[in-house]
A and B are shown apart, each in its own frame.
Chain A
């Protein structure tokens, strides 16, 4: 990237007194504006320490921290922290302050006028999809874990900082909610274009969230720093390979979207339809599964030969389609949709729910084999 890095760590070392080996050793790291840089590594590798060095929650023993072209290694750390959003795993909402007061923390420290703070709080609650009229005056104890984490992000965005530092922000949240928050956050980042340094120990999360990933080994030494694609298909050394685990090629599924693969045409019937004609079309296409569309082209049911033969009423033949894919979904989503679907395949619809095509295990398998061969030959 051509742009000047927004944050630069230059030869940063953090050593604790009485401990021989430094926690972070001569680290050089540049974060580009607008990117999500994920720091990932085994526990104890110093990734969290590295993050906390950036806003000087931990003071470096030596080296320099450059932020927006300015050496911020010395000077008031509080000033620096007010210019960076900070999200931690435990969130740390102030339990005795309302949601609005929590979000207003940094603007208040910066002495914004009251009206401006008020507007900003409402805006931020909208941004994280929480209705201000409901949540403004509630207390953190009245929120679920996912909601609390959203408020945590809103609070970090309080004074509209250019940088967000996130320390395992979704680590303590149940998998389903975590997945949703991650998606929401990526959507949000698409609009906000913040510069984000994100710490996690979960390589899957790193692959999903990161524009670039820095895989760290002990003392925060960078084992590999690259895009998720490159790391997954071309790990730099054995350490990275081990850290990625055996499923590295499978993980590339999260990087690709349904729109990247060719959709398979499925046999479709539109209501109303004839039983005999349907059976004939299915045997012509040499398949025993078809998709039933309603009058608006929305897929409604899976139909197979047996169902057609057995069921007396055609509009209740087959099984309902519960999971639909959209072109923006990852292939990981597609795989799980196929596995849970009654027909062993999934239908793809556009944003308005109109049928686009089908996605089959064969097409995914082909893609994976191809990826595997590419990475083996490179």
Chain B
């Protein structure tokens, strides 16, 4: 029927949406701002406070540099360990043909997070002895839950119709996982990894407790010897590292998000 009635809105050109300014982009501004504030404060304190001999000893740059590297080492490898363990488990428990154990699993691992990190480190020390590796394993246990939970949630929030369409077109289970489910859950999984990273970077300050080094040594020394400046410098350095990692995580979340989503 040829009608003179105007075409429906259906034909109105939809404008291509540019990369939208998302609410979650806010932290890409706030985090660097906070970082700069703290860094400025640190430089001011470093340059304008009077260091006595003890403080100078504690804050010896070479020592700080070593602790900084240890801190990163522990944080990095514990995060890698978390990802390598939690993501595959998350994938496994969300497969159709696997018994529904994910809720049980999440509650059990929730216990790991209910224990204080301090306690976990000591427990693992009793079991595995001292050193950075023990700290890495303890922190990995502590940070497992956010990554596992986000992997499960991320995979489950993928539109079932999209998976069904893929299946209906003859994609195998592995193809559906690799080409549909994983790309579409990347933002949620990355958010979990980001949380785990920040937990690990912060908690790595406890590594010194069992001989794992890290910036915790400086804070500890400052506390023991009653040197507030040293405590401050150590704490601010830990915070700066955590903020830096959080920022990198934010960037990853923003730029690794699949296009079109």
Contacts and interface: CB of A to CB of B under 8 A. Distances in A.
B172 A78 contact: yes
Given A141-B260, A322-B5, A323-B1, A93 B171 contact: no
Given A78-B170, A78-B172, A141-B17, A95 B162 contact: yes
Interface string B119-161: 0000000000000000000000000000000000000000101
Given A88-B164, A144-B10, A94 B16 contact: no
Contacts of B180: 94
Given A81-B169, A86-B165, 17 more contacts: A77-B170, A79-B170, A81-B168, A88-B161, A90-B159, A92-B165, A96-B261, A105-B166, A139-B260, A141-B17, A144-B9, A144-B12, A155-B169, A174-B8, A322-B3, A322-B4, A322-B5
Interface in B1-60: 1-5, 8-10, 12, 14-17
A199 to B, nearest CB: 13
Given A92-B165, A94-B180, A141-B260, A109 B1 contact: no
Interface residues of A, number: 52
Given A86-B169, A92-B161, A326 B2 contact: yes
Interface in A361-377: none
A226 interface: no
Nearest to B16: A142
Contact of B169 (A105, A140, A329): A105
A309 B261 CA distance: 63
B184 interface: yes
Interface string A135-172: 00011111111110000100110100000010000000
Given A142-B14, A142-B17, A94 B1 contact: no
A208 interface: no
A144 B159 CA distance: 18
Contact of A57 (B5, B168, B171, B183): B168
B69 interface: no
Interface in A308-331: 320, 322-326, 329
B13 to A, nearest CB: 8
Interface of B: 1-5, 8-10, 12, 14-17, 159, 161-172, 175, 179-180, 183-184, 258-261
A197 interface: no
5 contacts: A96-B258, A147-B14, A176-B10, A325-B1, A333-B1
A82 B169 contact: yes
A308 B146 CA distance: 81
A177 interface: yes
A270 interface: no
Contacts of B159: 90, 92, 95
A88 B166 contact: no
For A94, A147, A177, the residue with the greatest tally of chain B CB atoms inside 10 Å of its CB is A94
A90 B161 contact: yes
A80 B168 CA distance: 10
A322 B167 CA distance: 47
Nearest to A147: B10
Contacts of B168: 55, 57, 81, 86, 88, 165
Interface in A63-91: 77-82, 86, 88, 90-91
Query: Of B3, B170, B183, which is in contact with the most chain A CB atoms at under 10 Å from its CB?
Result: B170
A138 B165 contact: no
A325 B3 CA distance: 8
Contacts of A155: 169
A322 B6 CA distance: 11
B162 A177 contact: no
B164 to A, nearest CB: 6
A106 interface: yes
A325 B10 CA distance: 23
A86 B171 CA distance: 12
Interface string A47-58: 000000001010
A356 interface: no
Contacts of B184: 95-96
B164 A92 contact: yes
Contact of A95 (B3, B170, B261): B261
A267 interface: no
Contacts of B165: 86, 88, 91-94, 152
B166 A80 contact: no
A337 B1 contact: yes
B105 to A, nearest CB: 25
B260 to A, nearest CB: 3
A97 interface: yes
A95 B170 CA distance: 18
Contacts of B260: 95-98, 139-141
Contacts of B171: 78, 105, 109
Residue from the set B2, B172, B183, B258 with the largest chain A CB neighbour count within 10 Å = B2
